[in-house]
Structure 1
Amino acid sequence: MAKVIPIKHETVIKRLLDTPEALAAYDEMSEEIALLEQLTQWRESAGLTRAEVAKRMGITPPAISRLERHITKATWQTLKRYAAACGIDLTLAARG
């Protein structure tokens, strides 16, 4: 049996993110994960299930599951409707 040698997370990241392209992809994914976590937080803070959010949006529960799995494919209008279903007024702000 092969011996398993533990590697620190920081070491793995350093080895894998050694090009500008890899760093950009990692940063982009971090934003997607943050958005997904935000949606989940809105829903849970409102005390809603996926099915309840779907009903409020007038769509099916599987559509909510797909939205939460593939957040990058969501339109701005869909994100606003999701937020509204959770009692959130979503606005866009730019930083310079």
Structure 2
Amino acid sequence: MQIMINQHVTAELLSLTDVIRGQASHVIEWLVQSEEATGYRPRHLEAGLFGHELGKGTGIIYCYPDAHTLQLLYAGPNAVNKDQNVMTQVRQRSTGEEMKPVTMQELNECLLNTNAAREAYDQAGRELAMLTTLTAIRERAGLSKAELARRLGIALSSLLRMEKNPLGISMKTLHRYATACGVEVKIEVVGKV
């Protein structure tokens, strides 16, 4: 999939903090690799526009003008709360500003230019892997989020928070989650000990 970006979005991405740049890079890479962005829970903003919150009120807005193109339209504050100023800017960019292709490698060279940005990128990868695992075991068990929350004896909002921050789950909670889905957790140590 081709990434299209303009000079304004490039400048916005580069102005983000190191941590948010690392997260943004991972989200963009994942969007390029997967046409279904379910792992990162995109928010439908309006016809054809989607957003992802990256943290601290910051996010990205994008669209798919065709099946082979990801167009980045905005990176910054108020990206997913339908702020009228932001949405006006995004609409103008989607029709009027010149978009240029960029490879993921070129984008990563710009965004992951510090240790903190690279660590945030790696952390986002671990979170997505854990989220994907949790979602897969729940779906394999044929459970809705509401049914799983009931089995765990917690509010649905608590389950949603758990799935939003999967690396923050304690081992005890992870074990309960897996048991409720009919599987067990197995810990594996990777690397030299």
TM-score normalised to structure 1 length: 0.89
1:18 is the counterpart of 2:113: yes
Q: Is the 8 A contact 2:130 2:167 kept in 1?
A: no
After superposition, where does 1:7-86 map in structure 2 within 5 Å? 7-86=102-181
Question: Which position in structure 1 is the counterpart of 2:186?
Answer: 91
Aligned with 1:48: secondary structure? coil
1:32-85, Cα deviation, whole Å (9 max, x unpaired)? 110011000000111110011111111111111111112232111111111111
Structure with the higher fraction of residues in helix conformation: 1
Runs of 4+ in 1 over 4 A off after TM superposition: none
* Matches of 2:188 and 2:99, distance apart in 1: 47
Q: In structure 2, what residue type is equivalent to 1:34?
A: A
* Matches of 1:67 and 1:2, distance apart in 2: 39
Give the length in aligned residue pairs. 96
* Matches of 1:70 and 1:27, distance apart in 2: 15
Percent identical residues: 35
Structure with the higher fraction of residues in strand conformation: 2
TM-score normalised to structure 2 length: 0.47
* Matches of 2:180 and 2:173, distance apart in 1: 10
Aligned with 2:100: secondary structure? coil
RMSD of equivalent CA atoms: 1.3
Structure 1: where are the runs of 5+ without partners?
none
